[in-house]
Amino acid sequence: MKDITLLTHLQGLGQSAVQKPAAENLAGDFAAVLKDTVGKVNQAQIDADHQAERLHSGEAKNLHEVMITMEQADISMRLLVQMRNKVVDAYQEVMRMQV
């Protein structure tokens, strides 16, 4: 059985950001973290779709595992959307600053 707590899920999404040293280029780090996170969310969505197809065709016998996979994909997508909203808000705030 997989651990589905929110803290574990968030740590799994942000592992690449924690492992990199602070001396590297911040713009490159942000882009890499963003790309990695979007890729993981995309893979979670693909896995959920695959599990749903397996359930529909009768290959998957455990409804609980399918539902857990689908909920993980849903939570990942919601988290990504909230992260995007925060980044857009921060960008808009920076653009409103007087120089």
How far is it, in rounded angstroms, from Cα 35 to Cα 84?
12
pTM over 0.75: no
**At 17, is the pLDDT very low, low, confident or very high (cuts 50, 70, 90)?**
very low
* More confident of the two residues 14 and 29: 29
Among residues 83, 73, 8, the alpha carbon closest in space to that of 42 is found at 73
How far is it, in rounded angstroms, from Cα 85 to Cα 81?
6
pLDDT digits (tens, 9 = 90+) for 43-88: 999 999 999 999 999 998 889 999 999 999 999 999 999 999 999 9
pLDDT digits (tens, 9 = 90+) for 20-29: 555 456 767 8
